[in-house]
Amino acid sequence: MRVVVLLFLLIICYCLSIKAQNKQFLYGFQEIPQSLLENPGGEVNFTKHISIPFLSGIYIDAGTNNNLISNLFSNDRDDIGDKYERIIHQLSAKDFISVNEQLDIINIGYKLKNGKDYINFGLYQELDLIVYHPKDIAILYYQGNNDANGNLDLNRRYQISDINYKSDVIGVFHVGISRRLNRKLTIGARAKVYSGAFNVQSLKNKGTILTRQDLNNNPQAVLDNVYATISRSGLTGISKENFVGTAIKNTLSFKNFGLGFDIGFTYHIKENITLSGSVLDIGFINYAKDVTTYKIKGNAEISSIDLLDPLTDNTQEDWQDVLVEVNSQIPIDTLHSSYLSFKSPKVYTSFFYKFGRDYGNNKCTTTANLNHRKYLNEIGVQLHSIFRPIRPQFSGSLFYTRRLSNFLKGKVTYTINPYSFYNIGLGLSTQLGKFNFYVAADNLLGVADIYNSKKLSVSLGMNLIFK
């Protein structure tokens, strides 16, 4: 039963709440080619590069909030259902899970003969997931018309608008250019072609479910001005065995086609004081292959949703009876027309100051060769936001970068977001001949106690860079 499966997935998913996609290590790290994906207007201090296929641009971000995982897997004698039922009342409809994973398939760049333009292009794979906690619907699912004590809870409205989620697995073909306009200003732009492999989404739902008594004093549920949709693409016949093959096939077919762009800049206020910013993923995907949309719109009056224990064997039968009763009054439309899925735009801005002796003993104090100056130290602040369906998510980072030797550079970050005020990250980038390797990890303080860790992200990559 699709609705029950969907609800189950939502209930499992909302136990996590993640602050994702802030790549505070990569942004502004001009020695790493992948930094151009975070700011197409970034400066470049090499003549060309090529990533090691499937071993570069690897980024995974995951975490929890409110110690939910430790609560679920604590050593007390309560079963997981009881633990979970306690947890759902601690969350609000603003809690969410947001997961992002990226992998560079290929990334190539080279500087044009004019010495001002750097062209870069390639293909990367991305998974992006956002699921908001459907608090009212989860409570209705677990308790039916009853309150937490098992008593009939009348005249309560459960908000269907709490159901908000979207997930995409896509391939992104991109080409960008970074141009140094003058000694102080570099600008850039990137065009993107999206090809969707899989999508499932349910957004902008409306209406309520009201619990009351009918004229015979029997408990009743009233669906009032309900408008809800569930759209999906590429999921027919999907399984663990054929997931990768189907994803590649769907991506290369270009039947789920989309367009987008990035823009960015780097501006030197002074020779060693810099301001930069970028806006990423302004775009959309038109899903047209293997698409199905379920839509329900209208009003209905049904008997009590009395599911005191949703983990019992008869749960599916109970919910199926509810769906049959709803469908008899409000037909569920099944559509196969194309639909749009908009990307979640991201905004970066950074202000940083370089200091310490020039490692190359370059005594020039003008801005003529800014891209080639190598200061020992760099400190700054970075702000990041991503625009999600309900509201934007914000974070801020302080960072310190240190050139440890001619071939090694490190970066330490301290990040604040709505879920953590002590997120420490560390990254290293090394250049051995033409071979570049970088690795970074976030929330290092949580590694020792993974169950109570709020957030953990890892990124790494390998490139060949030619000076």
Give this prediction's pTM. 0.84
CB-based contact 374:30 (threshold 8 Å):
no
Please give the pLDDT value at position 83.
Answer: 67
The burial of 245, by beta-carbon neighbours within 10 Å (0-12 exposed, 13-18 middle, 19 or more buried), is given as: exposed
For 133-166, letters b (16+ CB in 10 Å) and e give bbbbbbbbbbbbbbeeeeeebeeeebbbbbbbbb
pLDDT band for position 214 (cuts 50, 70, 90):
confident
At 305 the pLDDT is 58
164: β partners: none
Instruction: Give the CA-trace dihedral at 326, 230, 95, 124, to 10 degrees.
Output: 170
Report the candidate in 462, 453, 456 with the shortest Cα–Cα distance to residue 429. 462
Q: Which residue has the tokens 């980072």?
A: 397
Q: Is 46 helix (H, G, I), strand (E, B) or coil?
A: coil
Structural contact between residues 137 and 128, judged by C-beta atoms closer than 8 angstroms: no
pLDDT band at 109 (very low <50, low <70, confident <90, very high): very high
The tokens for 95 are 């809690």
CA–CA distances in Å: residue 72 to residues 41, 82, 84, 155, 447: 45, 9, 7, 32, 19
User: How far out from the chain centre does Cα 435 lie?
Assistant: 30
Work out the burial of residue 215: count CB atoms within 10 Å of its CB; fewer than 13 is exposed, 13-18 middle, 19 or more buried. Answer: exposed
With cut-offs at 50, 70 and 90, classify the pLDDT of residue 117.
very high
- Summarize the confidence of residues 311-316 as an average pLDDT: 50
Q: Residue 17, SS3? A: coil
Q: Which residues of 247-270 are buried (b: 16+ CB within 10 A; e: fewer)?
A: beebbeeebbbbebbbbbbbebee
Cα separation, 438 vs 374, whole angstroms = 18
Is residue 450 pLDDT above 60, yes or no? no
Helix, strand, coil tally for the chain in percent (to 5):
15, 50, 35
Q: Quickly state the pLDDT bin for 317 (edges 50, 70, 90).
A: low
Q: pLDDT tens, 194-204? A: 999 999 999 99
Give the tens place of pLDDT for each residue, 45-73: 899 999 999 988 888 876 554 455 555 55
Q: Is the confidence at residue 373, as pLDDT, over 60?
A: no
Residue 367 has pLDDT above 50, yes or no: no
d(CA 25, CA 48): 22
* Residue 313 CA from chain centroid, whole number: 35
Lowest pLDDT segment from 115-129, 133-147, 154-168, 278-292: 133-147
Cα first-last separation, the chain: 58
CA nearest to 28, candidates 369, 276, 353, 272: 276
